Amino acid sequence: MEERAFGPVVGLGSSRTFDADVELARRVVDATHDSGCRLYDTSPMYGSEEALGLALGPYRSESVVATKIWAGSLEEGRAQFENQLRWFGRVEIEQVHNLVSWEAHLPWLEQEREAGRIGRIGVTHWQASAFPELARALRTGRFSVLQVPYNPLEQDSARELLPLAEELGVVVIVMRPLGDKSRLPSPPRAAELAPLREFGVETWAQALLKWALSDYRIDAVIPATRRPEHARENAAAGAPPWLGPDERKLVERLAET
């Protein structure tokens, strides 16, 4: 396996999870931290940033916060960043959410990086139709993090973006690693997952997370959860041994049925 810039790690997503529920955020963050999680993804879009900041409290210095700027105007973007500085102190990974006004935001984000208040600048989008624009953004050489969907049923990012990220040395964070969530309540049977057990996979969620992390181009997956027991289960997928091509194909076949 080739060396990765960052990872492979299981982080925590926070879309539609905590809202303003600080106690819920604390329970989930305590579980993820105890399980070794150090990467937390959020956004002004999710309404979870402040709760996450409060929940991270004692763990903040050991954690990597990946949040986003989701703003059509510079004023709004700067106001979002001011809030983030209050909640997180510093932002290790600042991503332009869904490419919104990315060319306008880049200069001030780069100034903040120069000043040390931002670590890396990234860019995200969830929709395959936006991937050519994501590729154009990456080719500027001004982003060092890419966040896209990648799961057995959503592999559009593997066509152009993952090879491009590899070529440019860009860190890749995978959103929606659990794919079509309708399959989660009725997962494949234990016997179907049996060939994956020697790879440390006990559950369907772990099979999907390990499927993504076993691609050497992937640095992190960020499953979202409100349940501490799911956070612990997910974190366990972040350790080797990694799946080989046959096991990854098995996960793809099971995802399709």
Binding site for ligand NAP (CB under 6 A): 13-15, 41, 97-98, 124-126, 147, 175-178, 181, 184, 205, 222-227, 230, 233-234
Nearer to ligand NAP (CB atom), residue 176 or residue 248: 176
Residue 207: strand, helix, or coil: helix
Strand partners, 175: 149
How far does CA 125 lie from the centroid of its chain? 12
Nearer to ligand NAP (CB atom), residue 171 or residue 222: 222
Six-digit token pair at 21?
């529920």
Alpha carbon of 247 to those of 36, 77, 80, 189: distances in Å?
Answer: 25, 43, 42, 16
Burial class (CB in 10 A: 0-12, 13-18, 19+), 234: buried
Q: How far is the CB of 89 from ligand NAP (least distance, A)?
A: 20
Q: How far is the CB of 124 from ligand NAP (least distance, A)?
A: 3
Preceding omega of 241 cis (within 30 degrees of 0):
yes
Neighbouring residues of 249: CB distance < 8 A, sequence distance ≥ 6? none
Q: What DSSP line would sit under 227-240, residue for residue?
A: -HHHHHHHHGGGSS
Q: How far is the CB of 227 from ligand NAP (least distance, A)?
A: 4
Q: How far is the CB of 179 from ligand NAP (least distance, A)?
A: 7
- How many CB atoms lie under 10 A from the CB of residue 201? 24
Nearer to ligand NAP (CB atom), residue 112 or residue 228: 228
Nearer to ligand NAP (CB atom), residue 3 or residue 84: 84
Nearer to ligand NAP (CB atom), residue 3 or residue 55: 55
Name residue 226's amino acid. Answer: R
Strand partners, 9: 220
Nearer to ligand NAP (CB atom), residue 40 or residue 243: 40
Of 222, 252, 234, nearest to 7 by C-alpha is: 222
Q: What DSSP line would sit under 78-98, residue for residue?
A: HHHHHHHHHHHSSEEEEEEGG
Q: Using alpha carbons only, give the angle 251, 7, 124 rounded to the nearest 5 degrees.
A: 80
Neighbouring residues of 114: CB distance < 8 A, sequence distance ≥ 6? none
Q: How far is the CB of 6 from ligand NAP (least distance, A)?
A: 17
Closest-by-Cβ residue to ligand NAP is: 13
Q: How far is the CB of 159 from ligand NAP (least distance, A)?
A: 18
Q: How far is the CB of 133 from ligand NAP (least distance, A)?
A: 13
Nearer to ligand NAP (CB atom), residue 151 or residue 243: 151
